[in-house]
Each structure stands twice: as structure tokens, then as C-alpha cells.
Amino acid sequence: MEQNGGKQGRSPFEGADSLKLSFNHLKIWYTAGMGFFTDAYDLFNITAILIIFGAYSIPGFIIEHNTFVTGALASSSIISAVIGQLIFGFLGDRVGRKAVYGVEASLMVLGAVLSALSPNIYYLIAFRSIMGLGIGGDYPISATIMSEYSNTKDRGKLIALVFANQGLGTLAAIAVGVGSVIAFPASIAWRVIAGVGAIPAATVIYLRRKTPETPRYALLVKGDAEEAKKAATVLGTQLQSSAVRARKVSLTEFLSKYGFLLVGTASTWFILDMALYGTGAYSGVIVSSILGTASTLEKAILYAGIPYIIGFFGYFTAVAAMDRLGRKVIQTQGFLMMAILYAAVVSLALTSGSKITGFLVPSWAAMLIYGLSYFFIDFGPNTTTFVIPAEVFPVRYRTTGHGISAAAGKLGAAITTFIFPELLLSIGVKGILEMLAIVSVIGAILTVILVKEPKLKNLEEASKEELEIATRS
């Protein structure tokens, strides 16, 4: 006898799904969120490090006129994150969320510390790759743990809050970057910037190792009712039943039933990260083309951070609207606004060949228009592409589906960060923004066609989970 999507019979997680938002939810949010603080810190700190290396000839770290090394440095942690997302996504479904939780944070700490101690740029590339493995692994595991511990009414908000730690991590990176170049010589400043990234991840390793297996995985996959009951007590509730399991689904059946949805979550994340990481790693160059070249190193880092500061408010707008407007609406309007804003910057630009020489409006107005693209990235697909895969796949494939989707995103990020040095030389900032406007429109179309809305549905309903009565051995 089966229940499809939890609609027949009483859900064993009804108590957890109907809870009000509590301190216990927020504790899990903090435990999960520090990885994304580190992820965003890493995205911006490489921008600051590239600015320092470009301005000073530090022995062993000279990147001038070497676009290959520059691209490799900018993309190294992103490329390894793809591997981390796939491996940890697979392991999270195969051996459980708890079994690997904390390992990814340890890799982030190790990679950040070794990066700060790098003797030359090639070691730095290698050590940032270690950090990238941990950052990648954090995506599917933390998103799924937050999803499976959340109540239905606030699930979107809570998963989005985990991701919103990126906004806090970015602000921290800007502050550390500016403070470091003021307080230390360039040869030390970049090491401080790299090493500080170890701190937030280090604070949650113990908490992650102590987090129980989620009630859903423990009951529906492992069939361990006692472990599931223990996990439910973390939220201050009880299971309503322990006599159900998730029906085993083969990989072929999963792909047949969820294949188009997986293409939707993966392709939209791929497009989003092309824009976010491509413009993010080289935001200093883009902002300088609008505001002019910064007169000091700290001003250059601050210039690069302006779009992120504007975008910061987008994360929390998304949090507030996630369970009201829904994921699809937020993602679609975000992509469309990105396209409009990129096109607006291009249409207002005065150019000489591929180089922007000025604007038809004051430079501050052009900067505001460009900065607003970051607001709608965050109040849009940057948040929703993270939230949706943690809800729409069945429990036996939830971290796998999220890991594949996230890996597609990081693949897009790796491609753009690696080729952007060449693109900046060949088509310039104007051409890059034109390209991103087109792909943003494609992202909106794919969202409408392929992505489904999980708003205010319990996880079993949102993922069309098939539950069956457990057989006693």
C-alpha cells in the first residue's frame, strides 16, 4: 500500500512540518550557513588578491600579461568545487547526510590555511583547489540538511537564509581586504586575506559532527525509527508514525521521472553562475571601466566590492519573499531584470572599439544600474537555484540532484572565470555584458518551462515522493 506525495494517510513528519519557526531551526541555520559565508568570502577574496598581484610584483606571484595563470588562479577553487559537489552529493544519499557532514568544512579550513602559506602562485592554485572541494561539498549537504529539518511554512525562508550567509561573507571579505592592504605590505596583506577564510568554517566543524541524521533520511532510507525519533527531538517534536519507507527508485527510473526537472535546475544554475562568478572575479575591472581607475589599492578593492554591497540587500529580500511569491516567480523576474540592467549599461555606454570610454549618464548612475544587477541576482536566481533542488527531488536522490545542479552552476562559473581574461581583451566589458544579457533571458525561459514550484508543500508532496508501508523483518 503506497502513499504518493504524502497525500494518502498521515505524514510521519506532520509534527515537524507544522512547527513554528524556533531557536532550534536557527541553530541548524547557523551550522549550515557558515559554509556559504566561506564560499562568498572566497569569491571576493580572490578578487582582492588578483588586484594586489596585479598592482605589485610580488616574487613568485607575478601574473602580469599571463592570462592563463590569472584564469587558473581565479577558477581553481571553482573547478574543484564541481568535483566536491558531485562526490558529496553522491555520498550524502549513499551513506547519509551526517556521515559526511563536517568533512567539507575541514577541507575549507585546510585549504584556506595552506593558501595563506603558499610559497608561489602554483601552490596557491593547488591549495585553493583543496578549499574548493570543501566549498563544493557544502552545497548539497547543508542545503538538504536545512531542507529536511525545516517546517513547511518557513522552509524556503530557512534554506534561503543559509544561502544568505554569502552576503555576510562578501561584506566580511571587503572589510578584511581593505583593512589588510591598509595595515600590511602587499606581500603580507594577501596572505591575511586568504587565511581569514579558515575562521568561519572552523567554528562549525564540531557542530556539524554533532548534528544528528535528518529524520527523513533516517526513517525513509535507513529504516532506523529510533534514529529518526532522536533527530525529531532536536526540533522539539515527535514522529507521527515510524511504519513507512521511501520506495526504492532505480537510477533509470529517477532519470525518467525527474530528468527534465534536473535539466531545469542544472541549466538555470549554470547560466546564473556564468554571470555571477564571471563578473564577480573581475568586478574590479568592470567597475573601473565605469568609475575610472582607482587611485589607491584599498580604493580599488572597495570599488570591486560596490556591486556586492548593493547585492547584499537582495539576499534578504529573497528570504522575506521566498514563501510568499514562490521560487519560480523570484527566479524568473531575477533573470529578466539582470538582462534588462546589463542591456541598459550597454545602451548607455560610449565606446571606442571594445572599450567603454564613458556613459550618456553620470558615472554614478551607470554604476547604480550595474550594481542593481547584483541585487536582482541575489533577489533572484542566485538564491532560488540553491533552494529549489533541496526540495524537488526524492529523499534517496536529494543530495545527488542538488550536487549535480550545483556542479552545473560551478562549471559555468569555472568557464567564465577562466576565459574572462581573454574575453576582456577581445570583446571588452561591453561585449561581455551583451553576452550575459542574452543568457539571462535564456535562464528566464528555462525557468518557466522546466522548473516547478515547491512553495508551501511538504517535502514528500513537493518531490512526489512515493512512500510505502514498511515490512517487518
Main-chain phi, psi angles of 439, to 5 degrees? -70, -25
Looking at residue 307, its pLDDT comes to: 86
Looking at residue 51, its pLDDT comes to: 85
Main-chain phi, psi angles of 79, to 5 degrees? -60, -45
C-alpha cell at 375: 541585487
Q: Does a structural domain hold residue 470?
A: no
DSSP, collapsed to helix, strand or coil, labels residue 223 as coil
Looking at residue 305, its pLDDT comes to: 84
Query: DSSP assignment, residue 52?
Result: H
Q: For residue 3, what is the enclosing H or E element? A: strand 2-4
Cα separation of 360 and 56, whole Å?
A: 34
Task: Let me know: does 84 contact 104? Beta carbons within 8 Å.
Answer: yes
Q: Does a structural domain hold residue 201?
A: yes
Cα 289 from chain centroid (whole Å): 27
Name the domain count of the chain.
1
Q: Which of 51, 42, 175, 29 is nearest to 109 (CA)?
A: 42
pLDDT in tens, the chain (473 residues): 344 444 445 678 998 899 998 888 998 999 998 888 888 887 778 888 988 988 888 888 887 767 788 888 888 888 899 999 999 999 999 999 999 999 999 999 999 999 999 999 999 999 999 999 999 999 999 999 999 999 999 999 999 999 999 889 989 998 999 999 999 999 999 999 999 999 988 999 999 999 899 999 999 999 999 999 988 988 888 887 778 899 999 999 999 999 999 999 999 999 999 888 777 666 777 788 788 888 888 888 888 888 889 989 999 999 999 999 999 999 999 999 999 999 998 888 887 776 777 888 898 898 899 889 999 999 999 999 999 999 999 999 999 999 999 999 999 988 887 787 788 778 888 888 899 999 999 999 999 999 999 999 999 999 999 988 876 54
Q: Does a structural domain hold residue 472?
A: no
Indicate the pairing of strand 466-469 with strand 349-352: unpaired
Main-chain phi, psi angles of 153, to 5 degrees? -65, -35
Cα separation of 265 and 64, whole Å?
A: 38
DSSP, collapsed to helix, strand or coil, labels residue 204 as coil
Cα distances (Å, whole numbers) of residue 254 to 259, 392, 398, 455, 472: 7, 12, 11, 22, 26
Domain that holds residue 333: 2-456
Task: Let me know: does 126 contact 350? Beta carbons within 8 Å.
Answer: no
Q: Does a structural domain hold residue 467?
A: no
Tell me the sheet residues that pair with 355: 352
Cα separation of 214 and 239, whole Å?
A: 12
Looking at residue 240, its pLDDT comes to: 78
Looking at residue 154, its pLDDT comes to: 94
Cα separation of 145 and 376, whole Å?
A: 26
Tell me the sheet residues that pair with 350: 358
Q: Does a structural domain hold residue 364?
A: yes
Task: Find where cell 568586478 sits.
Answer: 283
Looking at residue 8, its pLDDT comes to: 45
Tell me the sheet residues that pair with 359: 349
Residue 452's Cβ-side half-sphere holds a number of Cα atoms within 13 Å equal to 16
Q: Does a structural domain hold residue 208?
A: yes
- Cβ–Cβ contacts within 10 Å for residue 360, how many? 10
Residue 36's Cβ-side half-sphere holds a number of Cα atoms within 13 Å equal to 26
Task: Let me know: does 286 contact 279? Beta carbons within 8 Å.
Answer: yes
The CATH number of the domain where 352 resides is what?
1.20.1250.20
Cα separation of 187 and 61, whole Å?
A: 9
Q: Which of 111, 117, 114 is nearest to 133 (CA)?
A: 111
Task: Find where cell 529510533 sits.
Answer: 226
Indicate the pairing of strand 466-469 with strand 2-4: antiparallel
Task: Let me know: does 132 contact 75? Beta carbons within 8 Å.
Answer: no
Looking at residue 364, its pLDDT comes to: 87
Q: Is 68 exposed, middle or buried (0-12, 13-18, 19+ CB in 10 A)?
A: exposed
Cα separation of 71 and 416, whole Å?
A: 9
Query: DSSP assignment, residue 422?
Result: H
Cα separation of 336 and 314, whole Å?
A: 15
Cα separation of 314 and 92, whole Å?
A: 30
DSSP, collapsed to helix, strand or coil, labels residue 466 as strand
Task: Let me know: does 440 contact 333? Beta carbons within 8 Å.
Answer: no
Torsion, CA 389, CA 392, CA 397, CA 402, rounded to 10: 0
Looking at residue 355, its pLDDT comes to: 74
Cα separation of 174 and 169, whole Å?
A: 9
Cα separation of 430 and 2, whole Å?
A: 56
Looking at residue 78, its pLDDT comes to: 86
R_g over Cα of the chain: 22
Cα separation of 114 and 46, whole Å?
A: 15
Q: Does a structural domain hold residue 461?
A: no
Q: Does a structural domain hold residue 83?
A: yes
DSSP, collapsed to helix, strand or coil, labels residue 358 as strand
